[in-house]
A and B are shown apart, each in its own frame.
Chain A
């Protein structure tokens, strides 16, 4: 049997790595992926808790999180495409003006 807090610590590590990527990377798409990574870490924690506490609610939350992530990806990638069209660059450090 794997103790629950193994999972939790793993999710913490993944979340931290996600934050690192979030501040470290410069490519918009990659930063977006970092956010997805953090979401996944949270999902892991959810599932671990729900399994160890014997409540399925956590997994329902995970489903919701996944749905939200999907919607977010749709809109976010649309925005990214638009940005890339107008700014001709995917580097967030080059996209620092509200209007052109």
Chain B
């Protein structure tokens, strides 16, 4: 039981608990907070694997921007507790078992297929920011440009959607 394993299990437990709490919490703000916990835990796992840049970006973008946006919207709409309606019998009875089935399928598949993979090396030049950026601007430059267009479009869309027409 090395230190790395300890940290892993701690963070994993944190993530899973956060995810579960996202489900059981009835107020959206609490769900959002749980999700933030999950994200921070994941960032920790990335660090553990040595993907430091991704970890930082994970927290900056997900934690610092996206989730803030969520909370902002929740506060703006002053969303209250979630009401327990059950209009969809299908979702009520079949939904959760099916979701668990999906989990089982993926889990089993991964468990049986990836046993032979080598364990990740923490740190190292492999995923230093320099490598990533070189890759990003050489091999993945077209997707990169496309994403910038995507963001532009998203901005315009958001503006158009959110403005009151008058």
Contacts and interface: CB of A to CB of B under 8 A. Distances in A.
B100 A20 contact: yes
Interface residues of B, number: 86
A27 B115 CA distance: 38
Contacts of B50: 51
B150 to A, nearest CB: 5
Contacts of B87: 93, 96
B126 A10 contact: no
| Chain A interface, >50% SS class | helix
Interface string A13-33: 111111111111111011011
A12 to B, nearest CB: 4
Contacts of A14: 15-16, 19, 38
Contacts of A53: 117-118
Interface residues of A, number: 73
B114 A8 contact: yes
B13 to A, nearest CB: 10
Interface in A76-90: 77-82, 84, 90
B72 to A, nearest CB: 8
Nearest to A94: B85
Contacts of A50: 51, 127
B166 interface: no
6 contacts: A5-B110, A20-B95, A24-B95, A29-B70, A53-B117, A74-B157
Interface of B: 2, 4-5, 8, 12, 15-16, 19-20, 22-23, 28, 31-32, 35, 38-39, 42, 45-46, 48-51, 53-54, 57-58, 61-62, 65-66, 69-70, 73-74, 76-77, 79, 82-88, 91, 95-96, 98-100, 102-104, 106-107, 110-111, 114-115, 117-121, 126-127, 131-132, 135-136, 139-140, 143, 147, 150-151, 153-155, 157-158, 160-162
